[in-house]
Structure 1
Amino acid sequence: MAGYGVVIPAFNAAATIGAALNSVLAQAAKAEAIVVVDDGSTDDTAAVIDAMNLPVTVLRQDNAGPGSATTRGIAVLSTPLIATLDADDLWLPDKIEQQLAYLGRHPGTAGVFTHWRTFRGDSPDLPDAASGAGWSRTTMMIRQEVVQSVGPIIDPPGGRGEMIDWIARVREAGFLLAMLDDVLALRRIRPGSLSYGRDPARDRGYIQVARLAMQRRAQNKAGSS
């Protein structure tokens, strides 16, 4: 199996980063490298990681957004495959193993995602939690050459929608993405997180992502006519 590295962007994640890292370390298929990018946290995120004494590289930067932090983390990896995880979320133990197996069977597939289940607070095992297809950073495993070809993950205004935009760019570049049917990751919803509730200021990012997608389609259409 090809080797993989992990990137976790983290902002004020002291309450959750330990569980996220433990879910990475619990994988049946072990990572060659784990990189946490502290995106200008003002809490004890860095101290929590240091106290765990784990084989983790921690990079620190001024707050620039999760896309910027993810891109910076990817830049220091040389592994053929890259898996990413939000600092609020968790992987189930066989997530990576199943993704590696899928990519091994499908060499023409650029990346593979999984279904995920949502939970609130510290209760990830609620049986009635909602689940669905996780086109997200937390479920993504992508080939290194795809990242190099498509370019950085760009943070839109408000800090939401960067992965929607980047995944769209991957598809527009002609790369094939797959979705596994199994729930292999858990998405934590908590007050203060970027994914918590509706927020007009943060939701501006989705509008910008849609506008950029339309602009790219218009440019591609003009270029092919």
Structure 2
Amino acid sequence: MSGYGVVIPAFNAAGTIAETLRSVVAQSIRPETIIVVDDGSTDDTVAVIKTMNLPVKLLHQDNAGPGSATTRGIAALSTPLIATLDADDLWLPNKIERQLAHLEGSPATSGVFCHWRNFRNDRPDAPEAAALPGWSRTTMMIRRAVAETVGPIVDPPGGRGEMIDWIARVREAGFVLDMMDEVLALRRIRPGSLSYGRDPARDRGYLQVARLAMQRRARNKAGTS
């Protein structure tokens, strides 16, 4: 079975990064490498990681966004498979094992995602009942060729929508992505996080992503006409 590495972009995640890392090292199949990219945190994120005494490679950069931090982490990996995770979300213990088995049984699949459940801040023991398809960084496992071909994850204005844009580019490049029906991850919902609630300033990213997708379609259509 192929080895995998993990990339976690982290910005001011002192309150959650320990729990997130524990969910990684608790996997039934351990990663070869765990990389946390500190995206210019101004809190105790780095100190928390260092006190955990885990086999984590810590990289630092000025604050540039989760897409940039994820891209840097992926570039630092050499494993054939890459899994990514937000610094406030959690993996269930068999998440990686189930995704590795899926990819091993589906050689034409280049990336696999899974369902997840939301939970409110400090209550991972009480996730919401609804299971949702997680087309997200937290649920993603990809083959290295995907990242090498598609290129960087670009942070749009406002800090939201970078994974929507990147996943769209992956599909446009012809890669096959699968969604597993199983719930294998938990998504933390907390005030102040990028995923919390509606915010016109942050939601600008979604509009930018939609414009970029339309521009790519227009260029592709012009190129085939």
Question: Which amino acid in 1 is paired with 2:155?
Answer: D
Aligned match of 2:14: 14
Question: Which amino acid in 2 is paired with 1:117?
Answer: R
The question of whether the paired residues in 2 share the 8 Å contact of 1:119 and 1:129 is answered with no
Q: Deviations over 1:125-149 (max 9, x none)?
A: 2254432000000000000011000
Secondary structure at the counterpart of residue 193 of structure 2: coil
Q: Deviations over 1:22-76 (max 9, x none)?
A: 0000000110000000000000000000000110000011000000000000001
Aligned match of 1:117: 117
The question of whether the paired residues in 2 share the 8 Å contact of 1:112 and 1:177 is answered with yes
Aligned match of 2:176: 176
Unmatched segments (≥5 aa) in structure 2? none
1:91 equivalenced with 2:80 (yes/no): no
CA separation of 1:128 and 1:7: change in aligned 2, threshold 3 A:
closer
- Give the distance between the partners of 1:120 and 1:88, measured in 2 at CA: 11
Q: 1:170-209 maps to which residues of 2 (within 5 A)?
A: 170-209=170-209
**Percent of pairs with identical residues:** 78
Question: Which amino acid in 2 is paired with 1:96?
Answer: I
Deviates more, 1:170-179 or 1:127-136: 127-136
TM-score normalised by length of structure 2: 0.99
Unmatched segments (≥5 aa) in structure 1? none
Aligned match of 1:100: 100
TM-score normalised by length of structure 1: 0.99
- Give the distance between the partners of 1:194 and 1:131, measured in 2 at CA: 20
Secondary structure at the counterpart of residue 9 of structure 1: strand
Give the alignment's Cα RMSD to 1 decimal: 0.7
